[in-house]
Amino acid sequence: MVKFPPSRAEIRRFQRAVEDVVSFLKPRLGGDTRVKIISHTDADGIAAAAIMARCLYTYNVPLNVKFAHPLKPDEIAELGKGNHDFFIFLDQGSSQIEAIHKFILGRKRDVVVIDHHPGEFPDHPNLAYLNPHTCGLNGAKDVSASGAVYSVVEQLDRSFRPLVGLAIVGAIGDRQELFSGFTSINDTLIKRAIDLGFLRVGEGLRLIGRTLNQVVECLRLMTRPYIPSLSGNLSACRSLVDALGLSPSSTLAELGLEAERKIKDAILAQVGPPATNEEFYRRLWGAIYTLVTEDLVGPRDLGEYAAMLDACANLRKPEFGFAVAVGDQSTQSEALAILNRHQEQMLNVLEWLVSHLDSFKLTPRFRHIYFGSLVGPTMVGEALSLAIESGLVATDRPVLGITEVSAEELKVSARSTPILAAQGVNVGRALAEAAKAVGGNGGGHDVSAAARIPRERMDEFIAKVDQTLSGGSE
């Protein structure tokens, strides 16, 4: 199945949907309206919540923020029993609209859903929604949830334009940048940020810590890409820097572009083919997005900003990332310390994964690995993404990772590639159908998805995923 880039008509539909949400929001931004924001726990969800919160703060709207994975029906039922007048679902809500309709809209509460996951929405006078899929766009690459939220608040008031950096952070965090750059709404936001003087785009080594850590430590903490001969190996990283005659006390950003090119060439020579394919190269070297505006607190490098928010989410401290994103300078040092701890933990996860590559099992349509309780449920999806990007796992079929949530429940994370998606493979649909069939719940994009399932039905779930992917990729 060939997928064509979005047309101007689809982008205009998105803009009209933005205007509809703005029209719904405006009359609800005054008085004593009590707002509950429910946002997904990842970089995109945190950025989306921060953009919306900063908007509502400006209008003196009382609000409360909850970060969570997509809520189950019983959790949405509990929300509906609360005393909030207005519920805003960000980076989730599309797949839960039935429960939202029953337990919140049914109580005549107002709801806005701004999401980029597939879903179908009923007409309801108390509901407004913005979703790229309803406009003919692809929520996996054309715009993130934070980009959609930004589109709304910018339309509401142009004074919110400096927040565009957070929209780009969300897109980077959701891996929406392709080899050729960003597409559609994301591309528009990038160009607007540059034109407004909020963003500068250069090139260099795309390593987390390029502005934060001395070069040897930056190389040691490499997980994206993960290089077994360097990542986690302090002496090997020090030897590489010394051999190139570079200052070990400088950051990559301080060393300059020519020094970065030398390090890049040394890494590629050390790794060698076939690991150094196009995806590996693009992950190692490419566009660097740097904040110019002082309106946002946090790292100037947006790749590092996204990594910081994801680290806070994965280590179950999203409130620290959110605090930085809404402008609390005092929390930045703790959020960056969380990023450092997350990098150390991910090094351990990837080291384990490299030593257990023979544990992957193959079905006709995907490969999967069981982590058990060795890897926390918040780390699995990211570990699979890093393994794919680093060339550790073949990309001929989707990859699933399964880990324990409790004695009764398993978390399943799935990762695929844009090439497989273009062929019709959709892991979001496969996990949603398979999870529902075994009494669980799940969903997501065509290239990334997650599910929670009863532990005792794992084998049945695996068989159902294979069956669904067989139908979806033919």
Measured CA to CA, the distance from residue 433 to residue 469 in angstroms comes to: 10
Handedness of CA 292, 296, 298, 302 (dihedral sign): negative
Span of 139-143, 220-224, 442-446 with lowest mean pLDDT: 442-446
C-alpha pair distances (Å), 108 with each of 124, 125, 182, 222, 368: 10, 9, 39, 50, 44
Q: Give the per-residue pLDDT at 276.
A: 54
Per-residue pLDDT band for 53 (boundaries 50, 70, 90) equals very high
Q: Give the per-residue pLDDT at 467.
A: 92
Looking at the predicted structure, is the pLDDT value of residue 36 above 90?
yes
Residue 311 tokens read as 């680290």
| Percent of the chain whose pLDDT exceeds 70 | 97
The predicted model gives 60-65 an average pLDDT of 93
Q: Give the per-residue pLDDT at 278.
A: 76
Task: Spell out the domains of the chain, with CATH numbers in brackets.
Answer: 8-198 (3.90.1640.30), 205-291+297-347 (no CATH), 356-472 (3.10.310.40)
Looking at the predicted structure, is the pLDDT value of residue 19 above 50?
yes
Q: What is the mean pLDDT of the chain?
A: 92
Note the pLDDT tens digit of each residue in 275-330. Answer: 556 778 888 999 999 999 888 999 999 999 999 999 999 999 999 999 999 999 99
The predicted model gives 141-147 an average pLDDT of 96
Q: Are 427 and 415 in contact (CB under 8 A)?
A: yes
Q: Give the per-residue pLDDT at 158.
A: 95
Measured CA to CA, the distance from residue 255 to residue 278 in angstroms comes to: 25
Nearest by Cα to 223 from 354, 112, 47, 122: 354
Q: Give the per-residue pLDDT at 366.
A: 93
Handedness of CA 414, 417, 421, 425 (dihedral sign): negative
Note the pLDDT tens digit of each residue in 329-385. Answer: 999 999 999 999 999 999 999 999 999 999 999 999 999 999 988 888 888 999 999
Note the pLDDT tens digit of each residue in 226-280. Answer: 998 999 999 999 999 999 999 999 999 999 999 999 999 999 988 876 555 677 8
pTM summary value = 0.89
Looking at the predicted structure, is the pLDDT value of residue 1 above 70?
no
CB atoms within 10 A of CB 81: 9
The predicted model gives 53-71 an average pLDDT of 93
Note the pLDDT tens digit of each residue in 176-194. Answer: 998 788 999 999 999 999 9
Looking at the predicted structure, is the pLDDT value of residue 474 above 60?
no
Q: Give the per-residue pLDDT at 280.
A: 81
Q: Give the per-residue pLDDT at 374.
A: 84
The predicted model gives 128-153 an average pLDDT of 95
More confident residue, 274 or 24: 24
Note the pLDDT tens digit of each residue in 375-411. Answer: 888 889 999 999 988 888 988 999 999 999 898 999 9
Beta bridge partners, 204, equal 286
Measured CA to CA, the distance from residue 348 to residue 375 in angstroms comes to: 10
The predicted model gives 434-446 an average pLDDT of 91
Laid out side by side, the sheet with 361-362 consists of 361-362, 367-372, 399-404, 409-415, 448-454, 441-444
Q: What is the 3-state secondary structure (H, E, C) of the chain?
A: CCCCCCCHHHHHHHHHHHHHHHHHHHHHCCCCCCEEEEECCCHHHHHHHHHHHHHHHHCCCCEEEEECCCCCHHHHHHHHCCCCCEEEEECCCHHHHHHHHHHCHHHCCEEEEECCCCCCCCCCCCEEEECHHHHCCCCCCCCCHHHHHHHHHHHHCHHHHHHHHHHHHHHHHCCCCECCECCHHHHHHHHHHHHCCCEEEEEEECCCCCCCCEHHHHHHCCCCCCCCCCCCCHHHHHHHHHHCCCCCCCEHHHHCHHHHHHHHHHHHHHHCCCCCCHHHHHHHEEEEEEECCCCCCCCCEHHHHHHHHHHHHHCCCHHHHHHHHCCCHHHHHHHHHHHHHHHHHHHHHHHHHHHCHHHCEECCCCEEEEEECCCCCCCHHHHHHHHHHCCCCCCCCCEEEEEECCCCEEEEEEECCHHHHHCCCCHHHHHHHHHHHCCCEEEECCCEEEEEEEHHHHHHHHHHHHHHHHHHCC
